[in-house]
Amino acid sequence: MNKNYKKINKSTTNYAEELLKVLPWEAKEVPAEIPHGDMPGDKIEIDDSHVQKANTIFSVLAKEIAEKIKTNPYQRTVISVCGGSGVGKSEIASVLGWFLNQAGIGTYILSGDNYPHRIPMYNDAERLHIFRESAVRGMVDAGDYTDERFAEIRKWQQEDTDADKAHAEGKEWFMSYLAGGREGLSGYLGTPNETDFDEVSTIISAFKDGAADLWLRRMGRDASSLWYDEVDFSDKQVLIIEWTHGNSDFLKGVDIPVLLNSTPAETLAHRRARNRDGKTDSAFTTMVLEIEQAKLHSQAHKAKIICAKNGELISFDEYTERMKDQF
């Protein structure tokens, strides 16, 4: 670790000024085991690229934190680390949290993935149901529905290929199925229909109002794995939320949104590398990623910090230029 790095004097009440004195610094090494988001069973693997990006982000983030802490009577602030699936949110949020805790700034990392209304298997099923229901309705509304055509679609549904654009070759009527399904899915993904944004916003508000203890939700992967833990926040000044939807218009109270940018193609490549689920390459998964990416793009103007895939910090104008042909 850089010799310029030092812990903040906990006896001071002015964390903002003390935090800035920590700079300039750089952490060359991060321990293999550090605190991470509170999603049950979540495992992270931090590599050099995550540490490098976290260092670059922290050089700007520390100043943002200092300014925000000044405006809060409890010297608290809330950061979100957002971006597409597999872009490194969990890892980079963990490293940023470790940096801050090492500096004497108490930090807690909250995973937004604890707050969907349904456990993963049920949420995946709901996504698919909404897509198919909306897709068939789209065909009816477009005047494209016939029993013969639905027989083809039902076969594709049974094969889990009914979101594949390739089926439209020579069958233009199929485009109304895809368009209807995409529209219905877009109305669900990343909305209050899928996720309890109000609960997360309430946590943020309570934290910034000086709450010493908070009950936080835990969601596993089966129907019996949903519970709450009471967490001591009496020594915390920073709450980091790592979440795809951390910059959503439905989420209230985030002070410093940090966007980890990636193109749709890069996001899919990240998922393939992680082998996160058994249907990474499916047409339906690709559609979900495309919709999520489009929503991230529409919210990007609110980000205080944008970090490109290569680890470079870029302005919103530079981000717009890089993404202009992606949507």
pLDDT at 157 (0 to 100): 97
Do 129 and 110 belong together in one domain? no
- Tell whether the model's pLDDT for residue 279 goes beyond 80: no
Quick: pLDDT tens for 99-130. Answer: 998 888 899 999 999 999 999 999 999 999 99
Domain boundaries, position 212: 15-116+195-323
Examine residue 66 and state whether it is found in any structural domain, yes or no: yes
Task: Give the pLDDT of residue 103.
Answer: 84
Clarify whether residues 162 and 294 are in a common domain. no
Instruction: State the distance between the two ends of the chain, measured CA to CA, in whole angstroms.
Output: 41
**Helix (H) or strand (E) segment spanning residue 216:** strand 213-219
Distance CA 139, CA 193 (A): 24
Residue 156 lies in a domain: yes
| pLDDT confidence of residue 2 | 37
Whether residue 75 is found in the same domain as residue 203? yes
> Where residue 33 falls among pLDDT bands split at 50, 70, 90?
confident
pLDDT higher than threshold 70 for residue 57? yes
Same domain membership, residue 158 and residue 304: no
Chosen domain end from 140, 164, 186: 186
Domain count, the chain: 2
What is the average pLDDT across 59-80? 92
36, 276, 282 from 229: Cα distances, Å: 16, 27, 36
Q: What is the pLDDT of residues 128-154, one digit of tens each?
A: 999 999 999 999 999 999 999 999 999
For residue range 211-263, list pLDDT tens digits in order.
999 999 999 888 888 999 999 999 999 999 999 999 999 999 999 999 999 87
